[in-house]
């Protein structure tokens, strides 16, 4: 009786189509969903009514992305019901810390295509539950929390104690992981014997998870289209799969196979014995001769003769094999999708990008132009579900923001206010692997200067980063200590003005233009559901010398009613005209049937936490490239010690951005002869 909407009313179209960018989410095919307008709502008064409004099941945040609140099995169901096709990606934990940094970048890039989830394998030999940056646990944690990807953590159970396993599961839960792939794992040693009360089979792990964690985790189990190599028979293996499902598994991902008939027969056989949960085919695009051989050996599969016949002659030509592998995968996937039995495809990526991306693009299920649910990439930790406001300062360092707020119990929702604790965790280790620059030291030196000759050399680095033109030594500056990525499209629009001011020592690290109501589907500025309008106040954040700041403050008097400013140095001396330390909303969106979303704010209190980080990056990322006591290092140290960090907001968003005029006025004042 608490439902106020007729059960027959489907999810209205206004929240139907958006899918996240840089996060696991809906696929590009969403717009095909049937609009609600075709439903039977016109027969006045047919709906269920309610007299009482005491108990409401409303969530406290406007749901911009319905899937953000769903568990993986619900997302899968939603896609199946709507006919949207999807894909997922499997990765294994890397061996070295450097490889981990690269894998995380790969997660970010591949997230852009819109996988429904990724999964991370479990390697018992590699201390998979530890806190090492290469462990399965930490890689999965990073995918969920820092890359915003729905993630399945694999877990094997043989040769492990119940306590070990419970410990791993508790840790996974604590880190925000919500999905487990329950596997037996390979017995260690030849003479493995079943333990009486131990975990001898994946089904034991499934039962254990359900008994200890109730319905908290979504559980995935493995299916073997050709039967498990150790199974008595194909039929026995099918029965065992059904046992795993009955024990509580939510869906099945299959072992790789080489012919679509293999999977389709398997699927029909599963259905015949009453397995009704989703069964997702595991796709292995052949990427090289050796990787194929190794995988086949491990999985005890046989490569069909027709494939061998093609591959053997070209076994030394990697490119040819990969092209063939892509062709083969595309045609097999097409057969699977065309069967009508398959909605999602699971890819064994081998931690590589090119082949899988190519297959997905050719299948048309790579999300070419993903909609963003919010202007920033959301984290997938369940406790961050309601988060929809962040300070703008970390716009280019979202992983640092997530890291520094990981201990928060509540996340700002609707309003920054004081509902969120402004107690940011300290960032002591600037070399955390998910914050680490993708470029090695030598490359950074080439970009930022082997030897600095003065503050002007620093101005030049900033200018080259903005213009994209090579520096004196012919190297392009593609990253900065405050931004590990090339300039955002949005920022590129301000290029000309940014170049001008950086040349003169206004060292910009963050900015956005003002926007007075663009459609929420705008390719550059848009975010959130379609049918809405997005707005921005112009924002400019930069470092500048105290001479510039002194002149700027004089100029700002003229703009007192229009421009809000926060100016702070490394010692924390702080000058602001923000009323009562209130946050200023600088990005907001108005959507059909929803409350207003204001996802980025300039928050005076958070700015002081950001200031510590922003100043420290001069030293940690830049000064430390040089020898101690070297002139280059001293120049950066000087800037760190003496410059101010400034942020400016032009509140008059419907008018032309006045911040460039503010800067021009400042330089004019600096250049004018001193008054008497």
Q: What is the DSSP string of 138-186?
A: HHHHHHHHTS---EEEEEE-TT--HHHHHHHHHHHHHTT--EEEEE--P
Of 129 and 604, nearer to a second copy (C-beta) is 604
Of 142 and 413, nearer to a second copy (C-beta) is 413
Q: If binding is defined by CB under 8 A, does position 98 make contact with a second copy?
A: no
Among 191, 312, 409, 580, binds a second copy (CB under 8 A): 580
Q: If binding is defined by CB under 8 A, does position 674 make contact with a second copy?
A: no
Of 163 and 580, nearer to a second copy (C-beta) is 580
Among 415, 438, 475, 500, binds a second copy (CB under 8 A): 415
Alpha carbon distance 270, 15 (integer Å): 35
Q: Which two tokens stand for residue 353?
A: 């990008």
Q: Which of 483, 626, 649 is nearest to 577 (CA)?
A: 649
Q: If binding is defined by CB under 8 A, does position 544 make contact with a second copy?
A: no
Of 60 and 305, nearer to a second copy (C-beta) is 60
What is the closest distance, in whole angstroms, from the C-beta atom of residue 41 to a second copy in the complex? 6
Q: Quick check: helix, strand or coil at residue 480?
A: strand
- Give the active site residue among 67, 90, 133, 150: 90
Among 99, 231, 296, 596, binds a second copy (CB under 8 A): 596
Task: Specify the long-range contacts of residues 358-362, CB closer than 8 Å, at least 24 apart.
Answer: 358/326, 359/283, 359/285, 359/326, 359/329, 359/330, 359/333, 360/87, 360/113, 362/326, 362/330
DSSP-assigned letter for residue 483: B
Q: What is the pairing mode between strands 151-156 and 515-519?
A: unpaired
Active site residue 629: no
Q: Which of 55, 60, 117 is nearest to 87 (CA)?
A: 117
Among 277, 296, 363, 605, binds a second copy (CB under 8 A): 605
Q: If binding is defined by CB under 8 A, does position 669 make contact with a second copy?
A: no
What is the closest distance, in whole angstroms, from the C-beta atom of residue 410 to a second copy in the complex? 12
Among 187, 382, 468, 517, binds a second copy (CB under 8 A): 517
Among 407, 546, 641, 668, binds a second copy (CB under 8 A): 546
**What sections of 407-544 are H helices per DSSP?**
441-448, 455-467, 489-492, 495-503
**What sections of 366-429 are H helices per DSSP?**
398-404
Say if residues 565 and 604 touch (Cβ distance below 8 Å): no
Alpha carbon distance 284, 253 (integer Å): 13
Q: If binding is defined by CB under 8 A, does position 425 make contact with a second copy?
A: no
Say if residues 241 and 275 touch (Cβ distance below 8 Å): yes
Restricted to residues 156-215, the positions that interact with a second copy (CB under 8 A) are none
What is the closest distance, in whole angstroms, from the C-beta atom of residue 612 to a second copy in the complex? 7
Among 107, 257, 653, 667, binds a second copy (CB under 8 A): 653
Provide the edge-to-edge strand list for the sheet that holds 584-590: 390-391, 597-602, 584-590, 533-536, 515-519
Of 293 and 554, nearer to a second copy (C-beta) is 554
Say if residues 515 and 426 touch (Cβ distance below 8 Å): no
Restricted to residues 473-512, the positions that interact with a second copy (CB under 8 A) are none
Among 7, 440, 654, 674, binds a second copy (CB under 8 A): 654
Q: If binding is defined by CB under 8 A, does position 577 make contact with a second copy?
A: yes
What is the closest distance, in whole angstroms, from the C-beta atom of residue 377 to a second copy in the complex? 22
Of 185 and 391, nearer to a second copy (C-beta) is 391
Q: If binding is defined by CB under 8 A, does position 595 make contact with a second copy?
A: yes
Q: If binding is defined by CB under 8 A, does position 550 make contact with a second copy?
A: yes
Q: If binding is defined by CB under 8 A, does position 411 make contact with a second copy?
A: no
Q: Which of 94, 24, 87 is nearest to 351 (CA)?
A: 94
Of 260 and 520, nearer to a second copy (C-beta) is 520
Among 320, 432, 575, 669, binds a second copy (CB under 8 A): 575
Contact segment (CB under 8 A) with a second copy among 270-278, 364-372, 527-535, 629-637 equals 527-535
Say if residues 217 and 208 touch (Cβ distance below 8 Å): no
Say if residues 113 and 360 touch (Cβ distance below 8 Å): yes
Q: If binding is defined by CB under 8 A, does position 419 make contact with a second copy?
A: yes
Say if residues 497 and 467 touch (Cβ distance below 8 Å): no
The C-alpha angle 113, 116, 122, rounded to 5 degrees, equals 105
SS3 content of the chain, % helix, strand, coil (to 5): 40, 15, 45
Of 234 and 408, nearer to a second copy (C-beta) is 408
Q: If binding is defined by CB under 8 A, does position 15 make contact with a second copy?
A: yes
Q: Which region holds residue 432: left if phi is over 0, alpha if psi is between -120 and 50, else beta?
A: beta
Q: If binding is defined by CB under 8 A, does position 12 make contact with a second copy?
A: yes
Say if residues 600 and 588 touch (Cβ distance below 8 Å): no
Q: If binding is defined by CB under 8 A, does position 233 make contact with a second copy?
A: no
Contact segment (CB under 8 A) with a second copy among 75-83, 249-257, 477-485, 588-596 equals 588-596
Contact segment (CB under 8 A) with a second copy among 10-18, 277-285, 357-365, 466-474 equals 10-18
Q: If binding is defined by CB under 8 A, does position 5 make contact with a second copy?
A: yes
Among 82, 159, 497, 598, binds a second copy (CB under 8 A): 598
Q: If binding is defined by CB under 8 A, does position 634 make contact with a second copy?
A: no
Of 420 and 511, nearer to a second copy (C-beta) is 420
Among 247, 301, 494, 568, binds a second copy (CB under 8 A): 568
Alpha carbon distance 367, 361 (integer Å): 8
CA dihedral (372, 376, 381, 386) positive or negative = negative
Q: If binding is defined by CB under 8 A, does position 334 make contact with a second copy?
A: no
Residues in the chain, how many?
Answer: 676
Contact segment (CB under 8 A) with a second copy among 86-94, 193-201, 329-337, 545-553 equals 545-553
Among 31, 554, 631, 656, binds a second copy (CB under 8 A): 554
**Site map 250..289 versus a second copy, x via CB under 8 A:** ----------------------------------------
The residue whose two tokens read 């997922």 is 88
Q: If binding is defined by CB under 8 A, does position 670 make contact with a second copy?
A: no
Q: Which two tokens stand for residue 566?
A: 């926060």
Alpha carbon distance 385, 395 (integer Å): 19
The continuous run of DSSP H or E covering 508 comes out as strand 507-512
Of 204 and 388, nearer to a second copy (C-beta) is 388
Of 481 and 531, nearer to a second copy (C-beta) is 531
Q: If binding is defined by CB under 8 A, does position 70 make contact with a second copy?
A: no
Q: If binding is defined by CB under 8 A, does position 438 make contact with a second copy?
A: no
Question: In sequence order, what are the residues at sequence separation of 6 or more whose Cβ sits closer than 8 angstroms to the Cβ of residue 20?
Answer: 26, 65, 67, 68, 114, 148, 370, 371, 372, 373, 377, 378
Say if residues 606 and 503 touch (Cβ distance below 8 Å): no
Q: Which two tokens stand for residue 130?
A: 């530890």
Of 134 and 520, nearer to a second copy (C-beta) is 520
Q: If binding is defined by CB under 8 A, does position 616 make contact with a second copy?
A: no
Alpha carbon distance 53, 641 (integer Å): 59
Contact segment (CB under 8 A) with a second copy among 72-80, 228-236, 305-313, 581-589 equals 581-589
Q: If binding is defined by CB under 8 A, does position 445 make contact with a second copy?
A: no
Q: Which of 538, 509, 534, 510 is nearest to 524 (CA)?
A: 534
What is the closest distance, in whole angstroms, from the C-beta atom of residue 666 to a second copy in the complex? 12
The C-alpha angle 415, 421, 427, rounded to 5 degrees, equals 120
Restricted to residues 40-59, the positions that interact with a second copy (CB under 8 A) are 41-54, 56-59
Q: Give the residue numbers annotated as catalytic, written as ranges.
A: 90
């Amino acid at each position: 009786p608490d439902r106020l909407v007729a059960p027959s009313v489907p999810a209205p179209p206004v929240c139907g189509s958006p899918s996240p960018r840089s996060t696991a989410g809906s696929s590009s095919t969403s717009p095909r969903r049937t609009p609600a307008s075709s439903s039977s709502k016109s027969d006045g008064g047919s709906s269920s009514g309610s007299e009482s409004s005491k108990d409401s099941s409303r969530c406290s945040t406007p749901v911009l992305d319905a899937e953000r609140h769903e568990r993986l099995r619900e997302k899968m169901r939603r896609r199946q019901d709507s006919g949207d096709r999807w894909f997922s990606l499997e990765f294994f934990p890397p061996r070295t810390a450097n490889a981990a940094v690269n894998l995380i970048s790969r997660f970010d890039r591949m997230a852009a295509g819109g996988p429904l989830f990724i999964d991370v394998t479990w390697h018992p030999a590699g201390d998979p539950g530890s806190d090492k940056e290469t462990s399965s646990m930490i890689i999965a944690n990073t995918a969920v929390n820092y890359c915003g990807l729905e993630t399945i953590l694999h877990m094997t159970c043989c040769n492990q104690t119940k306590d070990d396993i419970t410990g791993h599961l508790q840790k996974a839960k604590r880190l925000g992981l919500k999905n487990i792939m329950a596997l037996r794992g390979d017995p260690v040693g030849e003479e493995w014997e079943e333990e009486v009360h131990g975990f001898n089979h994946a089904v034991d792990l499934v039962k254990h998870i359900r008994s200890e964690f109730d319905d908290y985790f979504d559980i995935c189990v493995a299916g073997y289209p050709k039967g498990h190599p150790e199974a008595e028979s194909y039929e026995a293996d099918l029965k065992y799969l059904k046992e795993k499902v009955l024990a509580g598994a939510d869906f099945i991902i299959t072992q790789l196979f080489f012919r679509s008939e293999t999977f389709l027969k398997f699927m029909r056989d599963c259905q015949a014995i009453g397995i009704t949960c989703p069964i997702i085919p595991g796709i292995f695009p052949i990427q090289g001769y050796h990787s194929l051989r190794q995988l086949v050996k491990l999985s005890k599969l046989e490569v069909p003769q027709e494939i061998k016949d093609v591959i053997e002659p070209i076994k030394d030509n990697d490119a040819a094999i990969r092209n063939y592998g892509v062709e083969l995968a595309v045609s097999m996937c097409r057969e699977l999708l065309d069967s009508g039995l398959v909605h999602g495809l699971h890819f064994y990526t081998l931690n590589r990008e090119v082949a899988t991306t190519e297959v997905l693009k050719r299948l048309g299920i790579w999300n070419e132009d993903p909609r963003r649910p919010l202007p920033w990439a959301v984290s997938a930790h369940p406790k961050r579900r309601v988060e929809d406001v962040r300070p703008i300062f970390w716009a280019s360092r979202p992983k640092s923001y997530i890291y520094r707020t990981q201990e928060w119990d509540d996340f700002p929702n609707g309003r920054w206010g004081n509902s969120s604790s402004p107690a940011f965790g300290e960032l002591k280790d600037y070399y955390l692997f998910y914050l680490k620059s993708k470029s090695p030291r030598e490359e950074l030196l080439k970009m930022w200067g082997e030897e600095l000759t003065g503050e002007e050399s620093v101005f030049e680095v900033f200018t080259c980063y903005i213009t994209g033109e090579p520096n004196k030594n012919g190297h392009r500056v593609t990253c900065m200590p405050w931004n590990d990525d090339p300039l955002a499209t949005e920022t590129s629009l301000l290029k000309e003005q940014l170049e001008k001011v950086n040349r003169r020592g206004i060292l910009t690290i963050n900015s956005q233009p003002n926007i007075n109501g663009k459609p929420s589907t705008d390719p550059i500025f848009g975010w959130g559901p379609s049918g809405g309008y997005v707005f921005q106040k112009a924002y400019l954040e930069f470092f500048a010398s105290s001479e510039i700041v002194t002149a700027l403050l004089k100029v700002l008097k003229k703009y007192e009613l229009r421009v809000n400013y926060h100016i702070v140095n490394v010692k924390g001396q702080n000058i602001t005209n923000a009323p009562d330390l209130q946050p200023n909303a600088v990005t907001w969106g108005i959507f059909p049937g929803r409350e207003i979303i204001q996802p980025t704010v300039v928050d005076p209190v958070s700015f002081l936490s950001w200031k510590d980080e922003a100043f420290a990056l001069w030293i940690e990322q830049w000064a430390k490239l040089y020898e101690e006591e070297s002139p280059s290092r001293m120049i950066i140290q000087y800037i760190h010690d003496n410059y101010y960090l400034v942020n400016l907001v032009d509140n008059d968003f419907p008018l032309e951005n006045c911040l460039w005029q503010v800067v021009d006025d400042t330089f004019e004042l600096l250049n004018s002869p001193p008054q008497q």
